[in-house]
């Protein structure tokens, strides 16, 4: 059904979306799914916190048609915000479930065995758009997102852009 190319889906901090039959059907269709999660985020475990793909197979078969038995699909890329030298250690679910935080973690992840190192020029201030996740010494105010201008300023040519920030170098050794 998919032709020459497989269907591909990337999910960020998403919950389980179907039961075991749904997962099997995606496999049959060749749908490739990458689930990106923060290991400290509880939201991807809901629903299905009790009945999920981790229960014994006898129970899975018994409850496979149940709307309460959810199963994750695809491959999980589990990221840990505690490995970023930019982020605070926090249990705040707003920070832990933050999409900008996940983009930051994805940018700095290279492998399980390598140290966190940002690969793009993506401004770390984006992490604090709607929460207070960056360490205080980076001087990015929490929740800086302004509804009126969306945090952007106009340059001399009249174009909207992000304000210039100082280059933080190749990670501060703190």
Domain boundaries, the chain: 8-161
Residue 18: the pLDDT is 78
For 18, the token pair is 């179907």
Query: Mind listing the pLDDT tens digit for each residue in 13-54?
Result: 988 777 777 888 888 988 999 999 999 998 887 765 555 566
**Who contacts 122 (Cβ-Cβ below 8 Å, separation ≥6)?**
103, 104, 107
Residue 144: the pLDDT is 86
Q: pTM of the full predicted structure?
A: 0.72
User: Taking residues 87-102, what's their average pLDDT?
Assistant: 94
Distance (Å, rounded) from C-alpha 124 to C-alpha 116? Answer: 14
DSSP line for 84-149: -TTBPP---HHHHT-HHHHHHHHHH---TTS-----S---GGGGGSSS--B-GGG---TT---TTT
pLDDT band at 78 (very low <50, low <70, confident <90, very high): very high
Whether 173 shows a pLDDT value over 70: the answer reads: no
Whether 59 shows a pLDDT value over 80: the answer reads: no
Residue 135: the pLDDT is 96
* CATH 3.40.50.1820 at 8-161, yes or no: yes
Whole-number CA gyration radius for the chain:
20
Whether 60 shows a pLDDT value over 70: the answer reads: no
**Who contacts 18 (Cβ-Cβ below 8 Å, separation ≥6)?**
26, 70, 71, 73
Instruction: Report how far apart, in Å, the C-alpha atoms of 63 and of each of 66, 69, 71 are.
Output: 5, 6, 11
Query: Mind listing the pLDDT tens digit for each residue in 96-155?
Result: 999 999 999 999 999 888 899 999 888 999 999 999 999 999 989 999 886 666 667 778
Residue 97: the pLDDT is 94
Residue 128: the pLDDT is 93
Residue with tokens 């174009």: 159
């Amino acid at each position: 059904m998919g032709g020459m190319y497989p269907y591909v889906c990337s999910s960020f901090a998403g919950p389980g979306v179907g039961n075991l039959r749904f997962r099997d059907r995606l496999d049959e269709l060749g749908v490739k799914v990458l689930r990106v999660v923060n290991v400290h985020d509880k939201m991807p475990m809901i629903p299905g916190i009790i009945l999920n793909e981790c229960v014994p197979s006898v129970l899975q078969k018994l409850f496979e048609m149940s709307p309460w038995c959810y199963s994750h699909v695809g491959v999980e890329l589990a990221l840990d915000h505690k490995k970023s030298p930019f982020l605070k250690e926090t249990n705040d679910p707003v920070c832990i479930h933050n999409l900008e935080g996940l983009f930051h973690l994805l940018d700095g992840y290279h492998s399980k065995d390598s140290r966190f190192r940002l690969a793009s020029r993506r401004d770390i201030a984006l992490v604090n758009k709607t929460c207070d996740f960056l360490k205080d010494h980076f001087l990015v105010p929490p929740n800086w997102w302004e509804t009126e201008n969306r945090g952007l300023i106009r340059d001399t040519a009249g174009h909207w852009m992000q304000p210039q920030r100082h280059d933080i170098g190749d990670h501060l050794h703190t």
